[in-house]
């Protein structure tokens, strides 16, 4: 009976993974196919021809070009995502350490308030943020998006990093201070290395949130100077047609940096997600 149950669970998991992966695989394949093959009826499931022309067109290579500044969008996304992630991690480390190690008045209330802020969907903030940003004159700027993404990521990074610092015995830091370390040295030499997996996990999630976010970016950006890649996908739509091949090629460009980052930190990411899950 247990073996049958295990087989059923395996088959169900396999089918679920197929359902989750097929749309992504279809986008990747469509990025290397001509538009006529994507629009063919009945659908062409197995590609007849694979080409790099779609990438050449969006980057302005070759005879056929598309007047979409993909390079500028990519640079904007990278600057905004990296800057907001670094700032959110810095604040998250300071806040997470403070909540894990110190006692102060209103600690639980402040922590609960941060978590409640995280429950508010970003799209619900689009109108008030737009009105406020317009008064401050930072609509259609990288700075405006960076501030928004830092605000969105800080509660999550504080919550996640706080949990990891709580798992580290305070006695380790105290022993280091007894041996002559300052509190700052004890943090960097003892506690930070032990919590780096959790910090890496928080960084990956913060980066992906900023890199993939569309709703707020579409409201707060207008020009090439600040548009990100997800917003730039709308440039492939016209009144009566959609360039599916170009859109899929740009979607692959969005996917690749996220995959590379996840691959580079996968060791820390897996350790971070499982840290504290098994008790000795």
Domain containing 42: what range?
2-51
Tokens coding 37: 């093959």
CA–CA separation, 266 and 261 (whole Å):
8
Q: Are residues 83 and 207 in the same domain?
A: yes
For the chain, the domain total comes to 2
The pLDDT tens digits along the chain (280 residues) read 778 888 888 889 989 988 888 888 888 888 888 888 888 888 777 777 788 888 888 877 766 666 778 888 999 999 999 999 999 999 999 988 888 888 888 888 888 888 887 777 777 888 889 999 999 999 999 999 999 999 989 988 998 888 888 888 888 888 888 888 887 888 888 888 888 888 888 888 899 999 999 989 998 998 888 999 999 888 888 767 788 888 888 899 998 888 888 787 777 666 655 554 444 3
- The CATH number assigned to the domain holding 199 equals 1.10.3720.10
In 3-state terms the chain splits into helix, strand, coil percentages (rounded to 5) of 75, 0, 25
- pLDDT of res. 186: 84
- pLDDT of res. 279: 41
Q: Are residues 189 and 125 in the same domain?
A: yes
56-60 long-range contacts, Cβ below 8 Å, gap at least 24? Answer: 57/246, 57/249, 58/246, 58/249, 58/250
- pLDDT of res. 278: 41
Place of tokens 């402040």: 110
Q: Are residues 41 and 101 in the same domain?
A: no
Contacts of 245 (CB under 8 A, 6+ apart): 30, 31, 33, 34, 35, 38, 54
- pLDDT of res. 273: 56
- pLDDT of res. 275: 55
Q: Are residues 13 and 151 in the same domain?
A: no
Does any domain span residue 280?
Answer: no
- pLDDT of res. 168: 82
- Note the helical H segments in 141-243: 142-167, 170-178, 183-186, 192-212, 215-220, 229-232
- pLDDT of res. 64: 63
pTM exceeds cut of 0.85: no
Tokens coding 249: 């090629």
CA–CA separation, 92 and 157 (whole Å):
5
- pLDDT of res. 142: 93
Q: Are residues 7 and 90 in the same domain?
A: no
């Amino acid at each position: 009976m247990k073996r049958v149950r295990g087989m059923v669970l395996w088959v169900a998991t396999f089918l679920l993974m197929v359902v989750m992966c097929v749309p992504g695989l279809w986008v990747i394949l469509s990025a290397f196919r001509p538009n006529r093959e994507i629009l063919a009826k009945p659908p062409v499931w197995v590609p007849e021809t694979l080409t790099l022309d779609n990438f050449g067109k969006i980057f302005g290579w070759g005879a056929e070009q598309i007047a979409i500044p993909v390079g500028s969008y990519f640079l904007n996304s990278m600057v905004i995502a990296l800057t907001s992630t670094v700032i959110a991690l810095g604040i998250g480390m300071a806040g997470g350490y403070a909540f894990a190690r110190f006692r102060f008045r209103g600690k639980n209330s402040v922590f609960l308030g941060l978590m409640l802020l995280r429950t508010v969907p970003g799209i619900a903030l689009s109108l008030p943020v737009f009105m406020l940003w317009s008064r401050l004159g930072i609509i259609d700027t990288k700075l405006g998006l960076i501030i928004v993404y830092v605000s969105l990521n800080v509660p999550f990074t504080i919550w996640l990093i706080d949990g990891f610092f709580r798992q580290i015995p305070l006695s380790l830091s105290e022993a280091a201070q007894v041996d002559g370390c300052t509190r700052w040295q004890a943090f960097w030499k003892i506690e930070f290395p032990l919590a780096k997996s959790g910090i890496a996990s928080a960084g990956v999630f913060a980066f992906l949130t900023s890199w993939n976010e569309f709703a707020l970016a579409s409201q707060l950006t207008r020009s090439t100077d600040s548009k990100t890649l997800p917003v730039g996908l709308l440039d492939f739509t016209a009144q009566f047609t959609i360039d599916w091949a170009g859109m899929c090629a740009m979607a692959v460009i969005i996917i690749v940096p996220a995959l590379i980052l996840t691959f580079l930190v996968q060791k820390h990411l897996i350790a971070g997600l499982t840290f504290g899950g098994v008790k000795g």
